[in-house]
Structure 1
Amino acid sequence: MERIVKSGEGWRMGWNPNAAKFKGLVGGDNWAIELTEAELNDFCRLLEQLAATMSQIASELMDEEKIACEAESDLLWLEVAGYPHAYSLHLIVNCDRQCEGSWPADAVPGLLQAVQVLKVF
């Protein structure tokens, strides 16, 4: 299996099954964080959970109402904030290194689509 790198407007995501420790990569236009396989699996799983939550709650909010939702594992923390149809994403990695990153609302749909296509987990 070869290295996979996907990118779009404001986001990057990668997978290298042959890497020794950091098999995953997430990033924006001007930054990137290498992730272990377990961290990348959690990132994908939690992002999909948050996206589903935002979709489910959409009918309960007024059009101009914003919301923030968060999800975490032992390895990382994610938060989405904004409108159910347009929200930003914030990531904090909690393991042996402290790093964080965020994506603007216009980058999240492409990143979410890449997560669903990559299907590392």
Structure 2
Amino acid sequence: MSFEENNWRLIKDTKKGKFCFLIGVNNWAIELQKHEFELLYKLLIKLNNQLLEIKDELMDEEFINLEIEQLPWYAELEGKKYGWNLRLIFESSEQTRSFEMYWPIPIAENLFYEIKKMWESMD
């Protein structure tokens, strides 16, 4: 299963073994394990719920900044009501690797919804 748009891609390939999810934006890509992808999904849902709670109270041009830490992930959403970017940091509890991702406007929202659809369609 894969989704590819201008400047981003999301791929699930269980034949790859341990690192079966790939997220790529612009000129970089990272492979995730299933449990890392699941934790990212849960973090993004939590962040989206926070955004939905305040969205109706925001003026169109009002700047927002939301931060969530849910180990091993940290997420920071910045932008406005109808367009935001997302910075994600992963710190492995196994001390195997750490990385940072940046999803610019409008990639962030599109990629979020595709990750949500991908995870919820599994099983």
Q: How far does residue 94 in structure 1 lie from its aligned partner after superposition?
A: 0.6
Q: Superposition RMSD on alpha carbons, in Å?
A: 1.8
1:107 equivalent in alignment to 2:107: yes
Task: Please report the TM-score for the alignment, with normalisation by the length of structure 1.
Answer: 0.84
Q: How does 1:45-60 map to 2 (within 5 A)?
A: 45-60=42-57
Q: Percent identity?
A: 31
Evaluate the alpha carbon distance shift between residue 67 and residue 8 of structure 1 in structure 2; reply closer, same or farther with a 3 A threshold. Answer: same
1:65 equivalent in alignment to 2:72: no
Distance 1:75 1:62 in 2: 33
8 A Cα contact 2:60 2:82, kept in partner? no
Q: Determine which of 73, 87, 92 is the counterpart of 2:89.
A: 92
8 A Cα contact 1:8 1:110, kept in partner? no
Q: How many residues matched?
A: 118
Taking CA–CA contacts closer than 8 Å with sequence separation of 6 or more, which of the two structures ends up with the larger relative contact order? 1
1:40 equivalent in alignment to 2:75: no
Distance 1:40 1:32 in 2: 14
Distance 1:105 1:23 in 2: 26
